[in-house]
Structure 1
């Protein structure tokens, strides 16, 4: 419920504070008094479009603030958006406008938290439903029309929608799993191809010893220097064991030393350890000489083996560049690739099984959507009859209304597109409501629709009607007044009206009028600087009619344009009759 509206520098309003109450609130006044400005302010504060004409002339800033009493749906939405409610449970919507040149900028806040217009638009749907002439409203939207039909259908449709939502989620989950599996299958096959190629290359390399490269390089060096090694080994042999040049070899010299030390031990036993050392050295030199001689004899050139070794070295180095950096790393990677290949081959899931699961989920979704369609069709037939019945007393007794349901792809909302078709006058082809109804017709249509929903839609939203009674009088105006009152028992209703019958039914009555006031304006003077001079300005004023006499006078003005005795008596009778209707008493 809208409890408080504060306006500053908006259109013809300089400053204005309005406190609305429960039930039916009406705004009355002369044509052009500015009643629609109040409705425009509510629209703009909740995210409506703005232009530079909405900021009061002579100012660059405007602000609009609306305070609503919260309810369960509102508080839940605030919690979802992580916006803290106020201590008293109210919600404050603020929009600030600023003018720079011809450009209007705005900022919106909910309970002090900055929000974008899209978010404010979502919140607006929980708070108010505005039906104003020349203005696009929620009811024009096919999505909203489907929601209204579902709401009208009651518990059965709402339960079925839950089943549809669950079936849709399951179907999307199965579809996502299938698509992921197909994608992973593609990736798996690509990975298998790569692994098989890499393993084939590594298998052909026959890698096992991480030291193989070092050993091969040693063998290559030996094979590449056979002649030099043979020469050096022979020279070493000559030096150690047998010298062909006639000079004693090292073994000969050590033999001589052994003989001398042996003679010395006959006189001094302490020489024996030295003797043993020389004898050991002699033995090792002789053995080394024989070994080097054998080594030299075994050496022989092998060009074919040298070629094989060099090719093997090149292969291993290429493998290391691709899979290394060293041979041990390449061998380790080979083992990992083999394990991964085995895992990929063993973890294959059946795409056919997942496709079957998806098809079953889709079939279930289609079935639940079909059941929902049947329920909607029944509700649509009932709504068509009741709505036409509600419209007849509102000067629309020849109206044709069709709630058309056409198929669309299954979604979480079912497989139906719901569009309200409407023909207000005989002989006119029915067309979508959004292209047919005028502002006044739309207001009465929504009034009748809300009358159909009075028992099924339990929300605390505020319904706003702009001149719903335009062009009607007598019984029709009385019927409108009674329907507005009946709606006000479920909703808060704000209504701009010129009908005394409607105004008399209100619990809260406001008179809107224009006044001319003197306002100081700032002028620049070359000699005296800035001057403040009086200027006549037109402003909108709103007065709450809180006593019976003020209401009589306003109703008399609406009736006859003046407060004559007859008009005052008629106004009194309207108030008495309205009070009797509200209390359930017979009309007088």
Structure 2
């Protein structure tokens, strides 16, 4: 629970230190006295949005600090975040400063933390109920959150399963739609690749040098007659000359002369050897050229075939080249692309089947969630009606309507709170049928439904009594007191009946005070400040009288005394009822033990 609140230089507050108690803490004061400033301070400490206008005029720094008692859950949170307890306390603070820019820093037990960590703490520390929540409660999403929260952990876990199933189904649906949109383009690409593959397969490309080799073959075939004639001419020059001596004959004559000469001079033997080698090479060259000439012949069909193949390769290169090597590489690439488009990847039918399976799983998860919601709806209806009876709404009708809708991440239910405060009148949506006072009481009853168990330590109600008076206000006061037995309650109120039930009563006032001396820059040294006073019994009687009648007349004080006496009776009645309940439980345990 909230133990203390310290404020420096915030709005109209210069310095303020407040100590709260368990049970029901009430804040009263005139409209505009600054009661909401205290709630704003608590909100800021636990993550609310900071504005430069929140700093007290003339100040560049504000400090807000709240101390809470520790619980096992809070001790676990501190251990998880490596923060030590501080004298068995949880101290949350926020410092806001303005220089060139607005700066803000959160601390827990003196350790700097981030906003996300503060948000985690807030869920365990406080829950605020304000007038504006009546509008929010009229929204379908807020009503769904209330029902799911009331359903507890099993329902919330199933809703998480629905969220996961919806995400899977949505992803496969998106993939399926994309696949369908791309299918036409895919089929067009397959046709194009198939045509190119057929053409390249028919070309039977394998050797990147084929075109060069064919061009050389074309030259040979085109000049076969010339080659045959010229080879015969070379043969004659080398070996058999019809007119004159051939090269071989002349070398043979030179060889004979050199043989004779070397008999007389051995120095000529190397020259003889060279001539003999030349003669051997000429004879071999003649033999080879003669053999070549015999093989050269005109082949028109081969020439036509080579020309046709070269034309085919040139066309292939123009389309897929520029070189034959590039065309072969392109052939390999489109083979891979074609395999990808026509291979064993997911087909449209497979995707449709997967999407249908995911949708079926989503529907199953939604059906389980709907069943849990129906069960929770029945329990919430019973609890709400039970809580509304003491609030002068004993004839009220309330129903949680569940209507089937297409599956969403929140399930397949449209949830609507239906309400009728008057017998004989049909149930209508809560936001359309409940008056302001009825909505306030409904909010209070809803909080009472969630108040069992651990939950947050401190419940804050900001003018939950708006729009009510008389016995209804007394019923709200009693309900707030009952809530304060399981939780600390902070309540801003204008109702004397509610204030009379308080365990601690704080008066909020605006006062104009003199601060410092006048100066040339300031025309006056007067400043408005908000002051909060913890009232003793006598001061409380005076404040209640002011709230009840606007003045502390004897008549007003007499009325206040009756309110305080009535509050004492409510406390005593609650204590007796609690004792009786505990006694019944003890007897039941004793019987069970026996």
Q: Normalization by structure 1: what TM-score?
A: 0.75
8 A contact 1:93–1:108 mirrored in 2: no
The answer for unaligned runs of 5 or more in structure 1 is: 526-530
8 A contact 2:227–2:293 mirrored in 1: yes
* Structure 1: distance between partners of 2:31 and 2:547: 11
Tell me the SS of whatever aligns to 2:515.
strand
Do residues 505 (structure 1) and 497 (structure 2) align? no
Tell me the SS of whatever aligns to 1:538.
strand
8 A contact 1:213–1:316 mirrored in 2: yes
Residue of 393, 408, 411 corresponding to 1:411 = 408
* Structure 1: distance between partners of 2:558 and 2:468: 22
1:306-354 deviations in whole A, cap 9, x for unaligned?
A: 6754554454355457666754565466457557756765525565455
Residue 511 of structure 2 is matched in structure 1 by: 515
1:518-537 deviations in whole A, cap 9, x for unaligned?
A: 235996x6xxxxx4664222
Tell me the SS of whatever aligns to 2:511.
strand
8 A contact 2:392–2:475 mirrored in 1: no
Residue of 356, 359, 362 corresponding to 1:362 = 359
> C-alpha displacement at 1:579, in angstroms?
5.5
Higher deviation after alignment, 280-289 or 183-192: 183-192
* Structure 2: distance between partners of 1:195 and 1:301: 42
* Structure 2: distance between partners of 1:493 and 1:73: 20
Higher deviation after alignment, 164-173 or 214-223: 164-173
> C-alpha displacement at 1:409, in angstroms?
1.4
Residue of 534, 553, 556 corresponding to 1:544 = 534
Matches within 5 A, 1:484-495: 484-495=480-491
* Structure 1: distance between partners of 2:66 and 2:542: 30
8 A contact 1:553–1:563 mirrored in 2: no
Tell me the SS of whatever aligns to 2:528.
strand
> C-alpha displacement at 1:96, in angstroms?
4.8
Residue of 121, 141, 150 corresponding to 1:143 = 141
Q: Say if 1:308 and 1:110 are closer, same or farther in 2 by CA, change over 3 A.
A: farther
Q: Say if 1:348 and 1:158 are closer, same or farther in 2 by CA, change over 3 A.
A: closer
Tell me the SS of whatever aligns to 1:505.
coil
> C-alpha displacement at 1:464, in angstroms?
2.4
> C-alpha displacement at 1:388, in angstroms?
3.2
Residue 469 of structure 1 is matched in structure 2 by: 465
Residue of 446, 450, 459 corresponding to 2:447 = 450
* Structure 1: distance between partners of 2:184 and 2:124: 47
> C-alpha displacement at 1:407, in angstroms?
1.9
* Structure 1: distance between partners of 2:321 and 2:454: 72
Residue 535 of structure 1 is matched in structure 2 by: 525
Q: Normalization by structure 2: what TM-score?
A: 0.75
> C-alpha displacement at 1:416, in angstroms?
0.6
Residue of 283, 286, 289 corresponding to 1:289 = 286
8 A contact 1:129–1:138 mirrored in 2: no
Matches within 5 A, 1:309-328: 309=306, 312-313=309-310, 315-316=312-313, 319=316, 327=324
* Structure 1: distance between partners of 2:77 and 2:188: 47
> C-alpha displacement at 1:449, in angstroms?
1.2
Tell me the SS of whatever aligns to 2:143.
helix
> C-alpha displacement at 1:446, in angstroms?
1.2
Residue of 476, 480, 483 corresponding to 2:479 = 483
Tell me the SS of whatever aligns to 1:207.
coil
* Structure 1: distance between partners of 2:537 and 2:319: 97
> C-alpha displacement at 1:221, in angstroms?
4.0
* Structure 2: distance between partners of 1:70 and 1:319: 83
> C-alpha displacement at 1:204, in angstroms?
1.7
> C-alpha displacement at 1:259, in angstroms?
1.0
Residue 374 of structure 2 is matched in structure 1 by: 377
Tell me the SS of whatever aligns to 2:525.
strand
* Structure 2: distance between partners of 1:22 and 1:490: 10
* Structure 1: distance between partners of 2:210 and 2:23: 96
Tell me the SS of whatever aligns to 2:465.
coil
Residue 13 of structure 1 is matched in structure 2 by: 13
Residue of 547, 552, 574 corresponding to 1:562 = 552
Q: Say if 1:274 and 1:380 are closer, same or farther in 2 by CA, change over 3 A.
A: same
1:70-107 deviations in whole A, cap 9, x for unaligned?
A: 8899999999xxx957444958475858799xxxx977
* Structure 2: distance between partners of 1:224 and 1:66: 105
8 A contact 1:511–1:542 mirrored in 2: yes
> C-alpha displacement at 1:405, in angstroms?
1.8
Higher deviation after alignment, 46-55 or 10-19: 46-55
The answer for unaligned runs of 5 or more in structure 2 is: 580-594
Matches within 5 A, 1:102-113: 111=107
8 A contact 1:107–1:114 mirrored in 2: no
Residue 211 of structure 2 is matched in structure 1 by: 213
* Structure 2: distance between partners of 1:439 and 1:74: 37
Residue of 368, 379, 383 corresponding to 1:386 = 383
Q: Say if 1:8 and 1:224 are closer, same or farther in 2 by CA, change over 3 A.
A: farther
* Structure 2: distance between partners of 1:419 and 1:24: 32
Residue of 277, 297, 301 corresponding to 1:280 = 277
Residue 36 of structure 2 is matched in structure 1 by: 36
* Structure 2: distance between partners of 1:437 and 1:126: 31
Residue 26 of structure 2 is matched in structure 1 by: 26
8 A contact 2:135–2:431 mirrored in 1: no
Q: Say if 1:166 and 1:338 are closer, same or farther in 2 by CA, change over 3 A.
A: closer
* Structure 1: distance between partners of 2:533 and 2:573: 26
Residue 528 of structure 1 is matched in structure 2 by: none
* Structure 2: distance between partners of 1:503 and 1:155: 36
Q: Say if 1:205 and 1:74 are closer, same or farther in 2 by CA, change over 3 A.
A: farther
Residue of 254, 258, 270 corresponding to 2:251 = 254
8 A contact 2:52–2:102 mirrored in 1: no
1:177-230 deviations in whole A, cap 9, x for unaligned?
A: 766876897786566445423321221211133331221232244456667766
* Structure 1: distance between partners of 2:333 and 2:91: 62
> C-alpha displacement at 1:516, in angstroms?
0.9
* Structure 1: distance between partners of 2:497 and 2:73: 34
Q: Say if 1:49 and 1:141 are closer, same or farther in 2 by CA, change over 3 A.
A: farther
Tell me the SS of whatever aligns to 2:149.
helix
Q: Say if 1:282 and 1:341 are closer, same or farther in 2 by CA, change over 3 A.
A: same
Q: How many residues align?
A: 569
Do residues 459 (structure 1) and 455 (structure 2) align? yes
